[in-house]
Structures are given as structure tokens and as C-alpha cells.
Structure 1
Amino acid sequence: MAVDSLSVASSLLDRLLQVPDPRRSRGLRHPLLVILVLTACATLVVGHDSVTAIRQWAARTPQDVLHRIGARFNPLLGRYTVPSERTFRRVLAGLDGDALDTATCGYAADVVRGNALAPVIAVGDDEPVEREQRRVATRAVTHPRPAGLLPAAAIDGKLLHGSRTPTGQVFLVAAITHHRGVILGQRQVPDKRGETAVIADLLAPLDVAGMLLTLDALHTSKKTARLITGPLGAHYMLILKGNQPLAHQAAQALLSGTDTEFADHTDIDDDRGHGRTERRTLRVAACDDSLFPGARQVFRLRRDTGGLDGVRTSKDIVHGIVSLDADLAGPEHLNHYARGHWSVETRLHWTRDVTFREDNSQLRTGTAPRALASFRNLTLNTFRLAGRANIAHARRDLHDHTDTFAVYGI
């Protein structure tokens, strides 16, 4: 295989080489790395969201690229060949999902740590900056990040609606960073009720020490709190609801009072965009381990939303608990973290559903639904690490195979 010369240029190939091949060695024609690399690169390009489209794109790969990634040479045809669609389907359906997620997310971690070159997406000299990129730049000025923020990641699950397996639909739990939207890891669980059981498996391989992990009410348990503040060496922000009635009632009692009484422990954030206005009012109060393992503060977040005319039409109040002391996170920080948790919805779930049409997929065999979800995560990480905000726009920038393979230094 002609991949040794690429190992320095692209950490992705090194990572993908660690994924075990599910096939028997006897009669093996096409190396696993070739199939994985072609799938990863095809997923970068708009319109290639199914196995059929991926193979169709791969069939037009230049011969020199196929040689570099170690594709099979057919002496009768005198050229390097691409695996058939059937081979793509069979291999993707038999992959070790955990190993593939470790490889693809590990590549992103390599880039973040500086152990691999950041991907580069070519943009035309005369092309104007697209709208989402301008919004990000504007928001950085109008809503600057508070000083002293810890790196934070949101954890949540997603159902692949079009998938079918012998045990039901595929349900995936992922961790994604608040600020850059980089997916750190992903694991599959039998259903939403099993989501909490996989948290340890998801977080254990990740370097989350010193980070703040934000989770919804489903994960608010003493076991999860002890895991995060103990072996993982991280901090948590958890939502309190009916599944923790005593802690919920205690938080409500600590946070009851007039706005004047909490004036020094309140942060108000006004936002306008996407056809609505929103005011987020967060107040905090100190607590200790007697309320919840590792707890240091409780908070109440009130969200008032309405139209662009400023008239409030809806109100929502949630209570939560954090393991951060007041000197590490004041009301302004907690308000920012609570808003950042929605990155898992807006920058992962929504993007995969809309940009990649994931819920319309009818892929049902073996681990193939999860495998393509892993490659979509890789695509999201790749574009965001290249500094792109709009994934659909970035996918359209890759017009030919040369530009696409160049993203990963191939």
C-alpha cells in the first residue's frame, strides 16, 4: 500500500488505518483504507449523502490519487480500480462503530492539539463572504464571550429516524464543543432511555479534564455528577426537573425572592435575530454537596421570547445546578454556558438533518447508518476546523476531486 508517504501529511489516514477490517483476509481485493478515505472525501461534497452517490463520486477519482491511497491495480485493465457499490455497502454495514468514531473524532483532536495540519477549503478570490460567516463575525463584536470561560462541551442524543435495525432505530449520543462546534465523540445506545448508561463509555476516552460538560435533565443523576467531578476531573451543568424532585425543590427555595434581592447575582442577555427577540435572565445562589454531589451553585434561567416588535409572547423557566464555584463562574458565565448547550441542537442535530438529509436516509443494514453518521461528523469537524460557519456553503465550494482530496492533504 502506498500510504507511508502520506502519514506525515495527513493524520486522517493514520487514524483510519486503526479501524479494524470486518472482512476475511482470504479473497480480499480492496483495502479498507481505500473505502474509508473515498467515503470520507465524498461526504465532503454536496449531494453525496447516500452510498450510491458516494460510490458514483468515488468512481471518478483520478488514477494518481487512487495510487497514493493504495487502491487495487487491475493488470487486465491497466488501471487502479474503485470498489463496487455492493462492496461499499457490505463494508460500511460491518464496521466497528466505536473504532470508526474514535478514528474520525481523533483526527479532529489531532488538529486541535496541533498534531496535524488544519484542513484548508479553497475559496475563490472574487467570492464574497457568505451570510452566515458575516453573522458569526458580527456576533463576536455585539455579543463578546465573557472573560475566563472554561472550555465547554454539550452532550445529547439523536435518533436516526430513517434507520432500522433488529433492535430498533439507531440512537446516537455525542459530545460537541460549545465554541467551535467540534464533535469530540459519539456512541450508540439501544434507545433514549439507555442514553445515560453510555455516558461513561462516551467520555472516558476523551480528554475532558477541566472542561464544563452541559447535559439535559435526562442525565441529571448523582451517578453522572460523581463521574464527571471524580474520575473525569471535569465540571457539570445539569438541569433539574421532576426526576430529581428534592434537589429541584431545594433549588427553587434557594432562588426564590425579588429581583432586587438578587440584583448582584443576576445576568440579563438580550438577543435579536431569526425573526424573533429573546431575553435570558439568569440568577444564581450558592449551595453545597448536601444538595447534590459536587454542587456549588444553583441557577434559575427565565427565557422570554417574542417577535421583532419586542412584545413578549412566551415564557420558559428552568432550574439547574453546577459544580463551579462563584469565582470560576458568575451569572454572566452561566448564562453563556446555558445558551452554548444548544450547539448540540443547532450545530449537530439540525445540520445533519437539513444539510445531509439524514432523517430521509433509508440505510438500514448493520452498522451502516452509524458509519455514515460518523463520516458526517467528520465533515462537520473538517469544515469548522477550516474556519467555515455554513456547512452547506462550504460543501458547494468543493467543485472537483483534486480540491476535495487536498482538504486532507492527499
Structure 2
Amino acid sequence: MTAFAPLLSLLEEVPDHRRAEGKVYQLAYVLLFSILAIVSGGNSYRSIVTFIEMHRLRLNEVFGLTWRRAPAHTVIRYILQGLDCDAVETAFRGHAKLLQAAHAKPGGGSLAIDGKTLRGSFDAFRDRAAAHLLGMFATDTALVLAHSEVDEKSNEIPAAQALLAELGLAGHLVTLDALHCQRKPSSSPQRPAPT
């Protein structure tokens, strides 16, 4: 339990969107067990339920719970789909910061920022382009410190600048793609004039 205490305390700060009467399963534990299931190879709501059911007695013992059965996959889906994404990102950033502080080498390592488009995230029905995320990776601890979504009508440059300012990383060595090597880095890339 003590190994999960810092993460659990951060997950307890994520707001619960459910009515008070419908809270049979505490949100922080549902989130923690979902994370454990995904890290163990689960990739669906049903696999999260299977993980919880298979390990329910041990989870009850370790975390002092009295769950008589795992929540249904529809309950897991309802809980996870209703989460405030920013609050979850804040919890993950807080956890990554704690891990980074505990395991970073003296003098620190470099940080790498890179963008990736999420496969299968486009939505043709809603005419939405694929989601593009910017991630920050600490090379000395191999931790992802933060994610930030790149606005559809923008690019990585302003997203990277906002992420660096938000995390207060002055004095760190940061590596970025060549896209960020421009005379005016705050503006979007200009296309060359046709000749």
C-alpha cells in the first residue's frame, strides 16, 4: 500500500462526476486498479474488470477495501468516460514529478519534447482530424513528465512553448525537432513562396 500511497493521494484529487448515491466504488481505487490493469496488458473495459475480479481478494487486503465483486464493465466505462481530462493529467504530472525527484541523477539529464499523432483518433463523423499530442520525456529517468494536446488549427511550436512555461523548466537542457529551429519560433511555419 505504501508504494501506491503517493499516486492514490493524487488520484483522490480527481473530481468524481457521479451522484453521491451512485458511489459504490471509490473513484481513486477504480482509477488505480484501471492503471494496474492497463500496465498488466489490459486494453478494454472488460479486461479491467477481469483484472479486478482476478485480484479482488488481494486488492481488498492490501488497500483495506470490502469489495464483494468487481464493478461491471459498463460502470468502469461510465466512470472513465466522465473524467475531467485536465484533472487526470494534473494527477499524472504530479506523480511523474514525484518519481523524477526521487530518481533523477544529480545535475539532471536532458528533456526531450516530441509530438505524435494518435493512430485511429480521427473522427470522420464529427469531421475531426486525428489528435496530435506533445510529450515531454526525461532521458535520465525514462519518465514521461507531461502530455499536451496540440490545437487542430496550430502546430507543435506554441504547444511546446506553453508546456515549457507551464512546467517551469528554466536551466534544463531540452531537445526538440528541427521544426522548432526558426527565426520567429512563436509564429507558425511559413510555406515558401511558389517560384
Give the TM interval when normalised to the shorter protein: 0.7 to 0.9
1:86 corresponds in structure 2 to 74
The structure-2 alpha-carbon separation of the partners of 1:168 and 1:185, relative to structure 1 and needing over 3 Å to count, comes to same
Mapped pair 1:29 → 2:17 = no
Counterpart among 86, 97, 100 of residue 98 in structure 1: 86
Distance in 2, Cα, partners of 1:7 & 1:244: 54
Distance 1:98 1:221 in 2: 30
Structure 1 segment 156-195 matched on structure 2, within 5 A: 156-165=114-123, 166=126, 167-191=128-152, 193-195=154-156
Alignment of 1:8-407 (within 5 A): 10-45=5-40, 47-66=41-60, 68-69=62-63, 73=66, 80-114=68-102, 151-165=109-123, 166=126, 167-191=128-152, 193-221=154-182, 224=185
Higher strand share: 1
1:39–1:222 CA distance, 2 compared to 1 (3 A): farther
> Counterpart of 1:109 in structure 2: which amino acid?
K
Do 2:112 and 2:176's aligned partners in 1 also have CA atoms closer than 8 Å?
A: yes
Mark the structure with the bigger radius of gyration.
1
1:98-122 CA distance string (max 9 Å, x none): 22122123213212323xxx7xxxx
| Change in CA separation of 1:190 and 1:36 when aligned onto 2, cut-off 3 Å | same
- 1:273 paired residue number: none
Do the aligned partners of residues 18 and 203 (structure 1) sit closer, same or farther apart at CA in structure 2, a change above 3 Å counting?
farther
Q: Which amino acid aligns with 1:62?
A: R
1:158-206 CA-partner distances (Å, limit 9, x unpaired):
1111224543322211100223321110112344843333224423342
Cα distance change, pair 26–169 in 1 and its aligned pair in 2 (3 A): farther
Q: Is the partner of 2:22 in helix, strand or coil?
A: coil
**1:51 and 1:188 mapped to 2: Cα distance?**
24
| Number of residue pairs the alignment of both structures matches | 185
State the Cα RMSD in Å. Answer: 3.2
The secondary structure found in structure 1 opposite 2:29 is helix
Structure 1 segments (4+ residues) deviating >6 Å: none
Shift of 1:50: 2.7
- Deviation of residue 33 (structure 1)? 0.8
TM-score for both structures, normalised by structure 2: 0.76
d(CA) in 2 for partners of 1:178, 1:97: 26
Q: Which amino acid aligns with 2:25?
A: H
Secondary structure in 1 matching 2:132: strand
Would the aligned equivalents of 1:160 and 1:169 in 2 still touch at CA under 8 Å?
yes
Question: What displacement does 1:150 show?
Answer: 6.1
Instruction: Check conservation: 1:184, 1:206, Cα contact below 8 A.
Output: no
Question: CA deviation digits over 1:61-110, x for unaligned, max 9?
Answer: 23252365465x5xxxxx53322111222222222222212212321321
Q: Distance in 2 between matches of 1:196 and 1:25?
A: 43
CA contact under 8 A between 2:93 and 2:146: conserved in structure 1?
yes
**One-letter code of the match for 2:12?**
L
- Structure 2: gaps of 5 or more residues: none
Instruction: Provide structure 1 residue ranges, at least 5 long, that are not aligned to the other structure.
Output: 1-5, 74-78, 119-148, 226-241, 246-410
Q: Which amino acid aligns with 1:48?
A: G
Deviation at 1:12, TM superposition (A): 1.0
Taking the aligned partners of 1:16 and 1:94, their CA distance within structure 2 comes to 15
What CA distance in whole angstroms lies between the structure 2 residues aligned with 1:221 and 1:21? Answer: 43
Supply the distance in 2 between the matched residues of 1:192 and 1:30 (Cα, whole angstroms): 40
TM-score (norm 1): 0.39
SS of equivalent residue, structure 1 residue 162: coil
Q: CA deviation at 1:221?
A: 4.6
**3-state SS, counterpart of residue 88 of structure 1:** helix
- Does structure 1 retain, via aligned residues, the 8 Å contact 2:108–2:140? no
